[in-house]
Amino acid sequence: MVYLNGEFMPIERAKISVLDRGFIFGDGVYEVIPVYSRRPFRLEEHLVRLRSSLEAIKIGNPHENAKWGELVGRIIAGNPWEDQNVYLQITRGVAKRDHAFPKGLKPTVFMMASELIPPTPELMETGAAAIVLPDFRWLRCDIKSTSLLGNCMLRTQAAEAGCAEAILVREGMLTEASASNVFIVRNGTVLAPPKSHLILPGITYDVVLEILRANAIAHEVRPVGESELRSAEEVWVTSSSREVLPITTLDGRPVGRGENAGKPGPVAKRVHDLYQQFKLSVMRAPVHA
């Protein structure tokens, strides 16, 4: 079951105009909210990010948070999986094709769900492969825009190289990956590039930083150079669907040195375990009205 503009319906019935600015210009924003045991994870934080994406492109937020919560709850209830990705998209709406934002449009609101399948234990054992590519996207990667052509091109290049992810570098500095944030470990310290217009402020990124802080794991949020990425002891990508996934080869070369080379490192394993515990604790917490 999906939701479109006030109605719940089977996906086959969900239809929009070809003049929708989401179709014509990619003029819209989105969120993907992970759901565990039918409970949304970090819903408030996703709704805060949605609000700032909408503000950045001057679309009025169609709903208050309480209403969003209710709609997300109904989508969860209307779909068969215990663990889901709830996808939510808002476009500016339907208008005659003209680049400048027309005023007074009714935004198109769409939601759907899919099964959430986190990385398998086997993948966590081996880690994933990534390639490093130049970040040629625009300069407002902090907006969770549906215009994802750059990300799609980069991810396709990674897939064609047999890799799970493309890790991106702009002017010699690590930004993020095509659909995830990136952390590295150097000299035992976890390093994360700071939030800026050049990266998406990941909800998982924030959870990981909270976990590092709460467990006194050495870390620094600071710009990370490409050479630091390439000589890191560990590299991980984080996202709602991939959680904390170790990258064990970069451009075909093993990440790390010595006995850990090409294998998930100890810090990644620890943070992954802490992330699982954190998820469980949130799922067991009482539900607030």
C-alpha to C-alpha distance for 128 and 280, rounded to whole angstroms: 24
Structure tokens at 154: 């980069």
- Helix, strand, coil % (nearest 5) of the chain? 30, 30, 40
Q: Determine which residue in the list 84, 91, 145, 239 makes contact with ligand PLP, applying CB under 6 A.
A: 239
C-alpha to C-alpha distance for 268 and 261, rounded to whole angstroms: 13
Closest-CA residue to 187 (of 236, 216, 228): 228
Residues 62-101, one symbol each (x = binds ligand PLP by CB under 6 A, - = not), give ----------------------------------------
Q: Is 58 a catalytic residue?
A: no
Answer yes or no whether residue 154 interacts with ligand PLP by CB under 6 A. Answer: no
C-alpha to C-alpha distance for 268 and 49, rounded to whole angstroms: 26
Answer yes or no whether residue 274 interacts with ligand PLP by CB under 6 A. Answer: no
Contact of 268 with 125, CB cutoff 8 Å: no
Question: Residue 39: how many CA atoms within 13 Å on its side-chain side?
Answer: 14
Q: How many helices (H) and strands (E) does the chain have?
A: 8, 15
Please report where in the chains the tokens 């700071």 appear, as a residue: 194
The DSSP H or E segment spanning 226 is helix 226-230
Stretch touching ligand PLP by CB under 6 A, among 2-10, 104-112, 233-241, 244-252:
233-241
Answer yes or no whether residue 179 interacts with ligand PLP by CB under 6 A. Answer: yes
Among residues 151 and 249, whose Cβ is nearest to ligand PLP? 151
Among residues 22 and 93, whose Cβ is nearest to ligand PLP? 22
Answer yes or no whether residue 53 interacts with ligand PLP by CB under 6 A. Answer: no
Q: How near is the Cβ of 79 to ligand PLP at its closest, in Å?
A: 19
Among residues 2 and 166, whose Cβ is nearest to ligand PLP? 166
Answer yes or no whether residue 181 interacts with ligand PLP by CB under 6 A. Answer: yes
Q: Determine which residue in the list 202, 246, 264, 265 makes contact with ligand PLP, applying CB under 6 A.
A: 202
Answer yes or no whether residue 145 interacts with ligand PLP by CB under 6 A. Answer: no
Structure tokens at 185: 């470990």
Closest-CA residue to 139 (of 206, 200, 225): 200
Answer yes or no whether residue 118 interacts with ligand PLP by CB under 6 A. Answer: no
Q: State the catalytic residue, choosing from 58, 144, 263, 269.
A: 144
Answer yes or no whether residue 50 interacts with ligand PLP by CB under 6 A. Answer: no
Q: Could you list the residues that contact ligand PLP (CB under 6 A)?
A: 32, 151, 176, 179-181, 200, 202-205, 238-240
